[in-house]
Amino acid sequence: MDKNYKGWKLQKDLCYPDKPGKAVVTGNFNGDEKLDYAIKFVRGKKGFIIAFLAQKQDYKAFILHNTNAEDVKSLSLDVWKKGERFELGEQNVYLRYVAVSDFRCESDVGGIHLYRNGKFIAY
């Protein structure tokens, strides 16, 4: 992180001041049985949510959100567990792996980020 985002700081969501949200979530996002991470942070006036997938001795970064610092504060970061289902139009999507999710404070507007075929797809 320091190499590519010098000056970064974790950013919990500010949806509920008495119960700050998560700035880091973990799970096996790609099915390789290695622990992966998603981090929500700010750097100056920019805000990011980035997933890091475990590689041999390192992690590969995938930018899920590149926005401003104020915007990222209103995003709630979490995960959906393997085996959960959600509706996408008229079809049900079954999660084969843990998925990163982010939603706007006090809203159902947001997305679920599924890792498929070498990239994350937002639903």
Dihedral over alpha carbons 5, 116, 98, 122 (to 10 degrees): 70
Q: Is there a domain that residue 107 lies in? A: yes
pLDDT attached to residue 108: 65
For the whole model, what pTM was predicted? 0.90
What letter does residue 19 receive in the DSSP assignment?
S
Token digits of residue 47: 């805000």
**C-beta atoms surrounding 33 within 10 Å:** 7
Q: Is there a domain that residue 65 lies in? A: yes
**What tens digit of pLDDT does each residue of 64-74 get?**
999 999 999 88
The CB-side HSE value for 84 (13 A sphere, CA atoms) comes to 13
Q: Is there a domain that residue 64 lies in? A: yes
Q: Which domain holds residue 51?
A: 9-122
Q: Is there a domain that residue 95 lies in? A: yes
Mean pLDDT of the 94-121 span: 88
- In the chain, the number of structural domains is 1
Q: Is there a domain that residue 108 lies in? A: yes
**What tens digit of pLDDT does each residue of 8-39 get?**
999 988 777 777 788 999 999 999 999 999 99
**What tens digit of pLDDT does each residue of 34-59 get?**
999 999 999 999 999 999 999 988 99
